[in-house]
Amino acid sequence: MKALKTLMASAAVLMATQATADVKVGMITTLSGGGAGLGIDVRDGFMLATQMAGRDDLEVVIEDDQRKPDIAVQLADKMIQSEDVDILTGIIWSNLAMAVVPSATAQGKFYLSPNAGPSALAGRGCHENYFNVAWQNDNLHEAAGAYANSAEYANSFILAPNYPAGQDALTGYKRMYEGELAGEIYTQLGQTDYAAEIAQIRASGADSVYFFLPGGMGIAFLKQYAASGVDLPVVGPAFSFDQGILQAVGDAALGVVNTSQWNKDIDNAANAAFVEAFQAEYGRLPSLYASQGYDTANLIISAMNVADVDDQDAFRAALEAADFASVRGDFEFGSNHHPIQDIYVREVIKEGDVYTNRIIGTGLENHADAYAADCSLN
């Protein structure tokens, strides 16, 4: 009888060691429709990292959320219930993240965000299994506010779309900016004509303009602004100046200052290898979204090296350690699992025929988000 017990115990131990098998990642991202460029970059960056690491014990399932919250929720349910993934990642938009992340983490899955960082998930709604590898939504805007102070702007005109991330953007800017506001406008989400706003900027007597208009909205604004003859300096977050968008804006973007946690000229070995491999693999320059996907994959791989994903506490500790070579250089997580990182100030330049950015300074050093204090994780 005793022999049988020992046998069973050793069998159990054997089975447990065999179970250090594969990690399955479910990626839900936007691959069709208006915002597809962002999801494609995150996916390509992520897959490049797994390819370069040559891990055959990392399986990735990729699905397209079409930028619709209901579809993202369906896909997450499918991945959790029938695909039995260990880790979810990939979502670009904050409203989709809010629909998926809380229920995924409550079901005991890890979620690593390669982009969206809504304030609700950084503060009171933080979760031990939720990690943000990009930024908290306010971060780049805060850096822009800090830049405006150092550039001695004293009368900014600020505008953003009227939706939660837009309100976060202006809040973030105002949190750091010390000057007066010449005007504050909320535009419609998806608006493409900014003639009325530009006329108000012209009449306002502002000395600078700050705008958060992601995607096509930013392209439209910059072209119309350049044609209007208003020549106040413009500052924006990297979202309107990433590699995918700049080529469509053209000369209108040249010289514009924008804030980002990453750029292709950050001087470290990991970044140089990433930029070179990305261009070789896909034939285009990487964007900041691609860098975020790449870092997310490398974070997962670094945790796989030291812990088994089935041992959640050990795997979580390995993720928290963030022991990987980030393309941003120094990278660590704060107590709420959001990055503490430098945010740079960049300028749009033209290299040959290609529009891109170069770093001209640091906006905020070792910056953590404003919501960490509300998070109960410690």
Partner 1 sequence: MPLALFAEQVLNGLQFGVMLFLMSAGLTLVFGVMGLINLAHGSLYMIGGFICAAVAAFTGSFLLGLGAALAGAAAAGVLVETLVIRRLYARDHLDQVLATFALILIFSEGTRWVFGSFPLFLDVPDLLSGPVSLPLGIQYPAYRLMIIVVGLLVALGLYLLITRTRLGIRIRAGESDREMIAALGVDIAWLYTIVFALGAALAGLAGALVGAIQSVQIGMGEPVLILAFVVIVIGGIGSVKGALIGAILVGMTDTLGRFLLPQFFATFMENTSATTIGSSLASMLIYILMAGVLIFKPQGLFGGAS
Q: Which residues bind partner 1 (CB under 8 A)?
A: 32-34, 36-37, 40, 162, 184-188, 190, 192-193, 195-197, 199-200, 202-203, 215-217, 219-220, 223-224, 227-229, 244-245, 247-252
CA distances from residue 167 to 138, 157, 173, 174 in whole angstroms, order as listed? 10, 15, 10, 11
Task: Output 228 or 362, the one with its CB closest to partner 1.
Answer: 228
Q: Which is nearer to partner 1, 97 or 219 (CB)?
A: 219
Report in angstroms how near the CB of residue 352 gets to partner 1 at its nearest.
Answer: 15
- Measured from the CB of residue 164, what is the shortest distance to partner 1 in angstroms? 12
Quote the least distance from Cβ 157 to partner 1, whole Å.
12
CB closer to partner 1, 101 vs 232: 232
Single out the residue of 264, 298, 141 nearest to residue 213, CA to CA: 141
Encoding tokens for residue 148? 């405006």
DSSP alpha helix (H) spans, 229-373: 243-249, 269-282, 288-306, 312-321
Q: How far is the CB of 120 from partner 1 (least distance, A)?
A: 19
Output the DSSP codes for 235-272: EEEGGGSSHHHHHHHGGGGTT-EEEES--TT--SHHHH
Positive/negative CA dihedral, 137, 148, 364, 299: positive
Q: 86 vs 242, which CB is nearer to partner 1? A: 242
| Nearest CB to partner 1, comparing residues 236 and 334 | 236
Backbone φ, ψ for residue 17 (5° rounding) = -70, -35
What's the closest the beta carbon of residue 370 comes to partner 1, in angstroms?
18
| Residue 245 contacts residue 36 (beta carbons within 8 Å) | no
